[in-house]
Amino acid sequence: MVGGLQRLDGLRPIHVVQGEQYVTDDPEAVLTTILGSCVSACMRDPLAGVGGMNHFLLPGARPGETDSVRHGVHAMELLVNALLGRGARRERLEVKLFGGARLIKGLTDVGALNAGFAEEFVRREGLQHVGGSLRGDSGRRIQYWPGSGRARQVFLPKQAEELIAIETRTPKPAPAQTGALELF
Amino acid sequence: MPAAASISVVVVDDQQTMRSLVRTGLQQLGFKDIREAGDGEAGLRQVLTGTTHLVISDFNMPKLDGLGLLRAIRSHEPIRGTAFIMLTGRADKELVQRAVQFGVNNYLVKPFTVAQLKEKIEAVFGPLT
């Protein structure tokens, strides 16, 4: 164990940063991420032997803001579709949700909005919410084994600015119409 | 200038959350007659059994995907004139090109705003009132 996390000797760690998702059927893979107010959904189909993780933050999240929610739905859809594309079945998907911490008091609780969105998405889509850890006021380091569905987390010291910097280190541009074809 | 309320829409997506988002956007634009389907087969049934002017469909779906639905609609004479807007992901250029071959009217890249949804619909029907 290292700092409460399992050593990854012999395994293939894959770090998932904000705005990305990763899906694998490699039984030796372990997906890792660091979360502040962002949320990661860890999903797997135990029968198909495929699983994955995303890492997202609702941009400009405000309660009920439709355009913000669209980005969250898109992040979840990318993960779900990638799993379905690798042989998973929607009705067998098991989901663990992590993150959504409130790092800075006094501002809008972006973490709670992210967490609430993720829970609502899983509920509305009828997916099996089998565990995880949401909200609180500490960042988290997550390890997820898609092969077994096992997940471990370690709470990180409350260094809000540092966590925010880590989460936003490689921000993905908003996937709008960039690169779109001009056919119409 | 067609009134949005006079256009009947079928929204086809296997994700209930996405269907709700599209429905909400359409309602904001004044659409009233909005039906939903969770896969391509159910979408085709909706189009075959009720008046439909516009289909807004995802691509990745079980049973019958968006391209299959588009092809089915274009091959059924009574419904072949139904307008069809495909919802796509960022990296689906090849899909869009295939959809164009099958007669798609427009496409919308996710995630999209209500303004973008309006723009795509107006590109097919003209300015909405």
Domain assignment present for A46: yes
Q: What is the pLDDT of residues A33-84, one digit of tens each?
A: 999 999 999 999 999 999 999 999 886 655 556 667 788 898 999 999 999 9
Residue B63, C-beta contacts closer than 8 angstroms, at least 6 positions apart: B39, B40, B41, B42
> A137: burial class by Cβ within 10 Å (0-12, 13-18, 19+)?
middle
For residue B121, which residues of chain A lie inside 8 Å, CB to CB? Answer: none
Domain assignment present for A5: no
* Of residues A73, A126, A175, nearest to B18 (C-beta): A73
Q: Per the CB < 8 Å rule, is B15 touching A125?
A: yes
Domain assignment present for A114: yes
CATH code of the domain containing B46 = 3.40.50.2300
pLDDT of res. A159: 67
For residue A183, which residues of chain B lie inside 8 Å, CB to CB? Answer: 96-97, 100, 107
Domain assignment present for A12: no
What does the radius of gyration of chain A's CA atoms come to, in whole angstroms? 16
Given the residues A23, A29, A34, A38, the one annotated as active site: A38
Domain assignment present for B128: no
**SS3 state of residue B86:** strand
Q: Which domain holds residue A80?
A: 17-141+154-167
Report the mean per-residue pLDDT for chain A.
84
* Of residues A69, A90, A176, nearest to B21 (C-beta): A69
What ipTM, to 2 d.p.? Answer: 0.75
A38 is catalytic: yes
Question: Is residue A166 within 8 Å of A16, Cβ to Cβ?
Answer: no
For A14-44, give the DSSP string.
EE--TT-EEEE--TTEEEEEEESS-EEEEEE
Q: Which of A139, A159, A157, A176 is nearest to A34 (CA)?
A: A139
Strands A140-145 and A150-155: antiparallel
pLDDT of res. B88: 87
User: To the nearest whole angstrom, how far is the Cα of A107 from the nearest Cα of chain B?
Assistant: 26
User: To the nearest whole angstrom, how far is the Cα of B59 from the nearest Cα of chain A?
Assistant: 10
CATH code of the domain containing A133 = 3.30.1330.200
Comparing A99-103, B55-59, B87-91, the range with the smallest average pLDDT is B87-91
Q: What is the pLDDT of residues B48-83, one digit of tens each?
A: 999 999 999 999 888 899 999 999 999 999 999 999
pLDDT of res. A179: 41
Domain assignment present for B129: no
For A38-107, give the DSSP string.
-EEEEEEETTTTEEEEE-B--TT--TT-HHHHHHHHHHHHHHHHHHHHTT--GGG-EEEEEE----STTS
Q: Which domain holds residue B101?
A: 4-123
Domain assignment present for B50: yes
- Decide if pLDDT at A184 tops 80: no
Domain assignment present for A4: no
Mean pLDDT of all residues in B107-119: 92
Number of domains, chain B: 1
Comparing A65-69, A105-109, B27-31, B54-58, the range with the smallest average pLDDT is A65-69
